[in-house]
């Protein structure tokens, strides 16, 4: 995760906390990074499962509108077209960007009720549920999305994040690595994998992953957060080596 993000809890890798200086990395909040990504769907021309040409028309109409205006337009549209799963999906996206996860959950649930194979809606529903601290419910949605489409990169990233924050780093790495196998340019997957490596004091590997994130998304929130973590880690590694020499 990523795309979008409140700062998640920071952890010190084993042994670092005993040092005079504790090393804590920022974790890009799923809502912030994902919010930017899902808003971009309207402009990207990306297809939406099971919604057809109606979804294409909706995307064109909301493209470029601020989130508040998107909500107004989509709610009016849904009053006249209540069975439009794509419109409910985009409404959930707008609510998520506006930091209204409860409303986003309702919109995504409506999209999934209309199209049970709507993997994008399932993944974004999981993200909204995480915002409400309903983590186990979010995990179920990610798993269901992967049952439908085993190549969904964000579902892998968020399941990895679930396991990482629940202490199972090995399982987290498995999901992050699978996401990268599917899409080698997934900045979210590389970022999360870097966190897993850093938490296990595999600093060279963490640096490699975060440098990739900066190269892939230099102007994004994710890229800036990776750059900040790189600065902290490289400073720490340098100090650690100097202490060893002393």
What local confidence, expressed as pLDDT, does residue 59 receive?
85
The one-character DSSP state at 74 is H
Q: What is the pTM of this model?
A: 0.78
What distance in Å separates the CA atoms of residue 53 and residue 59, rounded to the nearest whole number?
10
Tokens 């979804």 belong to residue: 55
What are the C-alpha distances in Å from 113 to residues 50, 103, 129, 163?
A: 12, 15, 16, 27
What distance in Å separates the CA atoms of residue 235 and residue 244, rounded to the nearest whole number?
14
DSSP per position, 169-203? HHHHHHHHHHHHHH-TT-HHHHHHHHHHHHHTT-H
What local confidence, expressed as pLDDT, does residue 20 receive?
27
What local confidence, expressed as pLDDT, does residue 58 receive?
87
Tokens 């995307």 belong to residue: 59
C-alpha gyration radius of the chain: 19
What local confidence, expressed as pLDDT, does residue 206 receive?
96
DSSP per position, 89-146? HHHHHHHHHTT-HHHHHHHHHHHHHH-TT-HHHHHHHHHHHHHTT-HHHHHHHHHHHH
Residue 68 near residue 93, CB atoms below 8 Å: no
Please identify every stretch of the chain with a pLDDT value under 70, giving residue numbers as ranges: 1-54, 239-246
Estimate the crossing angle of helix 221-245 against helix 30-44, to 10 degrees.
Answer: 140
What is the rounded end-to-end Cα distance, in angstroms, of the chain? 40
Closest by CA to 178, choosing from 147, 146, 145, 153, is: 153
Structural domains of the chain, with CATH: 1-30+150-246 (1.25.40.10), 47-149 (1.25.40.10)
What local confidence, expressed as pLDDT, does residue 244 receive?
53
What local confidence, expressed as pLDDT, does residue 24 receive?
57
């Amino acid at each position: 995760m990523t795309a979008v993000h409140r700062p998640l809890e920071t952890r010190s890798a084993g042994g670092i906390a005993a040092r005079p200086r504790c090393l804590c990395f920022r974790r890009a909040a799923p809502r912030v990074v994902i919010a930017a990504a899902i808003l971009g769907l309207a402009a990207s021309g990306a297809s939406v499962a099971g919604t057809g040409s109606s979804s294409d028309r909706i995307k064109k109409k909301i493209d470029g509108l601020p989130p508040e205006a998107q909500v107004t337009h989509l709610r009016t549209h849904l009053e006249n077209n209540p069975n439009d799963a794509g419109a409910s999906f985009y409404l959930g996206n707008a609510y998520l960007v506006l930091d209204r996860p409860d409303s986003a959950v309702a919109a995504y649930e409506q999209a999934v009720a209309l199209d049970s194979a709507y993997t994008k809606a399932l993944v974004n529903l999981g993200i909204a549920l995480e915002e409400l601290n309903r983590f186990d419910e979010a995990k179920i949605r990610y798993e269901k999305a992967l049952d439908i489409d085993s190549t969904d990169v964000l579902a892998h990233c968020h399941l990895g994040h679930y396991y990482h924050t629940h202490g199972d780093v090995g399982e987290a790495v498995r999901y992050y690595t699978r996401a990268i196998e599917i899409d080698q340019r997934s900045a979210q997957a590389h970022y999360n994998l870097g966190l897993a490596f850093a938490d296990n004091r595999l600093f060279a590997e963490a640096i490699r992953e975060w440098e990739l994130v900066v190269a892939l998304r230099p102007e994004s929130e994710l890229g800036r957060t990776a750059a900040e973590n790189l600065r902290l880690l490289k400073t720490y590694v340098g100090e650690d080596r100097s202490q060893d020499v002393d």
